[in-house]
Amino acid sequence: MDINEIRNKYLKFYKDRGHAIIPSASLVPQNDPTTLFTGSGMQPMVPYLLGKDHPEGARIADSQKAFRAEDIEEIGDNRHTTFFEMLGNWSLGDYFKKDQLSWCFKFLTEEIGLDPKNLYVTAFMGDEKNNLPRDTESVELWKKLFKEKGIDAKESEIGSEEDGYKKGIKAGERIFYYDAKKNWWSRAGKPEKMPAGEPGGPDSEVFFDFGTPHDTKFGPKCHPNCDCGRFLEVCNSVFMQYQKQDDGTFALLPKQNVDFGGGLERLVMASTKSPDIIAVCHHPVLTHLEKASGKKYGKNPEETKAFRIIADHIKAGVFLISDGVRPGNTEQGYFVRRLLRRAVRYADVLGITKSTLSEVVLPVAQMYKDSYPEINAQLENITKTIAEEENRFRKTLSRGIREFERLAKDGSISAEDAFQLVTTYGFPIELIKEEASARNIKTVDIKGFEKLNKAHRELSRAGSEQKFKGGLADTSEKTTRLHTAHHLLLKALQIVLGPEVKQRGSNITEERLRIDFLHGAKMTDEQKKEVEKIVNEKIKEALPVVRSELEKEKAEKLGAEHEFGQKYPDRVSIYSVGPKEATEQDPQYEKAYSMEFCGGPHVKNTSELGHFKILKEEAVAQGIRRIKAVLS
């Protein structure tokens, strides 16, 4: 089965069991100051797992797009990708372990045909110091499920991952107890790290056994959590059943939740019994690259790595661009630029010179034409963006080569030289190594560079955390006022600059609001003054701010603004500003000053905002402008 078949089977399976199927959230989290990307299937569901009522009910399922920037350097092997999809189902105070594990097992073995003899599972062994019991309930359920398939599943206590390499797997063992590091879930990690009030619980993972020989470089013996490649985790059921108390103890949650995540691409690997994620999940892209390069995937290790990097990076770039991210030097744009530039670098390894990487967009779009039609809808824009970045980087490469030659005159490349080439000239470290080898330069201080680069990343991360500290994750009065002003500002920009202005990102703290928007030219002083004037007029008019829930189609027909590239459920929350006579019973949307899909929070009336002032207007990427503004 391919990606689309398994995704469709999964969503139908859970729809038939009473789950509301919701669309994937954007790869760019909305109003979440803690992270740049949606990196897991449960990330958009956190508010509901913490107690907020979901508008679609207590049973939810989806396939969520995800991107993990930290995996970029891992790409090139047969298991890692930066972009992936997570199949998810959630029980919000509804069913629990029995239904969850039996449905999970049924889907894996009957819907997508995995042989139960190839499945191994893990469970939480308990934590004595925190008085958390062993998850024997899950283990007994697994034993019963395996027995129904004619398998006598024996259990084994592993403990830590390190212990697993010593103990290995004995005949008949199929269910393994691991410690809290492996089989306990909370946002804070292990139980002792959880703050008071934080929910968490045991989880149970399912692994697929490819049957490949164990590689002893990872440890003497193999076990399900071994990294040798024999076992692949395909899904995980989290049972959120505890909450940490003020005195450090754990009590059962009154409303217990299930959070299931299944890696879609990993399930394809298991379904096809192929340990190569790129071969089975990027096949149309590989076919295109083979034609463009005249080379065959899998024939040469160096070229195979290049095929994998290009396939992964272009697919990830396509999805990020379709969600409104543009190549740039900061935040999300930095990672899109890095992906595309690494892909260009490895296109050279394959000798792709007669075509451009922008041509890879089409096979990606065709792969996802039914599940993510927004890619086809933006095909021209995505292709143009990638082509422009490729051309720009090729010019950068020529400048980098000249700088490399200047720095290498003394026959060596220092850590500082390498760092300058990477950060100032966008010269990949792989290319530095290759250029040095081609010129017979023996000394390249890679270890020193890695130290400098690590320090740079940590500094950038700290700066990012400070920058985003207290965004809309906090609902203070100041932040709420600025959030409402953000709505007034977007509408004013459309009035002054034109209706083509669309939001491309935002961040709101207690100190200021920030909006990124689509516009091709620097704003004049007159335009900025006019925008300020409109916003302040609407503040003086004391317009009510009204929240309503509508069918998505009706909200769109009424002209409600929504995030570019974002998918929404069938019923949405919108906020309308004005008119004066609007009430919750009769918001009179047609007369509203502004109307947006939004979850809040907002003030009740614009008169609460104060005086609006633009601090700065600047470019952040090609065709993207940024405004920072305050209220006083």
Same fold, 3-277 and 477-631: no
CATH number for 477-631 (one of 3.30.450.20, 3.30.980.10, 3.40.50.150, 3.90.380.10): it is: 3.30.980.10
- Across-strand partners of 626? 516, 618
* Residue extents of the structural domains in the chain: 3-277, 477-631
Q: How far apart are CA 208 and CA 314, in angstroms?
A: 28
Cα torsion 434, 439, 443, 448: sign = negative
3-state DSSP assignment of residue 143: helix
Average pLDDT over residues 124-149: 96
Q: How far apart are CA 461 and CA 389, in angstroms?
A: 25
Least confident interval from 144-153, 357-366, 437-446: 437-446
Query: β-strand 59-67 against 83-92: which pairing, if any?
Result: antiparallel
User: With 60 as the cut, is the pLDDT of residue 460 above it?
Assistant: no
Over residues 129-133, mean pLDDT:
94
**Spatial contact of 144 and 151, defined as CB atoms under 8 Å apart:** no
Task: Tell me which of 107-121, 309-323, 361-375, 494-508 is least confident.
Answer: 494-508
pLDDT at 463: 42
- The owner of tokens 């701010």 is 545
Tell me if 610 sits within 8 A of 506, measured CB to CB.
no
pLDDT band at 120 (very low <50, low <70, confident <90, very high): very high
Longest dimension (CA), the chain: 78
Q: What is residue 565's predicted lDDT score, i.e. its pLDDT?
A: 53
Name the pLDDT band for 468 (thresholds 50, 70, 90).
very low
pLDDT tens-digit map of 214-255: 999 999 999 999 989 999 999 999 999 999 999 999 999 888
Mean pLDDT of the chain: 88
Q: What is the pLDDT of residue 340?
A: 93
Strand partners, 258: 91, 239
Q: What is the CATH number of domain 3-277?
A: 3.30.930.10
Residue 199: strand, helix, or coil: strand
Flag the least confident range among 113-117, 209-213, 562-566: 562-566
Query: Is pLDDT at 564 greater than 80 in this prediction?
Result: no
CA–CA distance, 61 with 335 (Å, rounded to integer): 29
Question: Taking 50 as the threshold, does the pLDDT of residue 477 lie above it?
Answer: yes
Rounded-to-integer distance, Cα 485 and Cα 416, Å? 45
Assess whether pLDDT exceeds 60 at residue 474.
Answer: no
Q: What percent of the chain has pLDDT over 90?
A: 57
3-state SS, residue 136: helix
What does the DSSP assignment read for 390-424? HHHHHHHHHHHHHHHHHHGGGSEE-HHHHHHHHHH
459 — pLDDT class (breaks 50, 70, 90) = low
